[in-house]
Structure 1
């Protein structure tokens, strides 16, 4: 398996920071209050976990669409799978916090399965699944902690 390119690894890991921040502000009410005061309520606690989770799930749909476009013959299956994470977020994230976090955890786990399917089709870089395993583990751990702290 080839090495993950440093820019992809570092930027991917940096993308975990809002998830980590959400958990940290759930664990520290003082930090959550300071965050709400300085930059607004959507940047702390469950709000950032769910809001940023939706953004990243939709972003990953776009990435998958790009992979589907690399496929042969315009296969429907790749395109259908590529839009599934964004549609999942649209239809199932919202309402009670626990419901939203559960929907996001499910969405990211299913996204990993879709990533694996695209890798098997040869549409992803060889290092893709290594990166996706690292990032999905981090995201799901943060969302699960957020769920535990509801």
Structure 2
């Protein structure tokens, strides 16, 4: 295992988290249009994951003797933004959530400059963020049909 390769259980659980939105997006693209659109469930799921991410930032930042206030503030932003996006329910809000997830590794880079992260963290975070952001963006199109 290299420094950028997470422990196997972390990989399984991390990538496993992409399975529910992947199934929902695939269902909307592969099944005939009907009264139920599964893509509408991707946004709340992605919002929960985004909020969870804020919790990881909080945990890493709060391990320091004197936590950096800006990092702590960034850590509470994802659940607040996800909450607001979830209740707007618009396609634009869904795309905004996808964009926020896609740029979230930038916060991890800020965090890495302040605290010690596992050596594999950035590698995994980038891949998972791009996967979830892509699936969230893809989930909006079938909602138009």
Question: Normalization by structure 1: what TM-score?
Answer: 0.82
Gap regions ≥5 residues in structure 1: none
Structure 2 alignment gaps of length 5 or more: none
Q: Is the 8 A contact 2:40 2:139 kept in 1?
A: no
Distance 1:123 1:47 in 2: 37
Q: Give me the CA root mean square deviation.
A: 2.1
Report the alpha carbon displacement of residue 138 of structure 1 after superposing the two structures with TM.
0.8
Q: C-alpha distance in 2, partners of 1:78/1:71?
A: 11
Structure showing the higher helix proportion among its residues: 1
Cα shift at 1:120: 2.2
Q: How many residues of Structure 1 are paired with residues of Structure 2 in the alignment?
A: 141
Alpha-carbon offset, residue 116 of structure 1? 1.5
Question: Where does residue 6 of structure 1 map in the other structure?
Answer: 8
| 1:125 partnered with 2:118 | yes
User: What is the match of residue 20 of structure 1?
Assistant: 22
Deviation at 1:93?
A: 3.1
User: Partner of 2:104: helix, strand, or coil?
Assistant: helix
Q: What TM-score do you get using the length of structure 2 for normalisation? A: 0.85
More off after superposition, 87-96 vs 127-136: 87-96
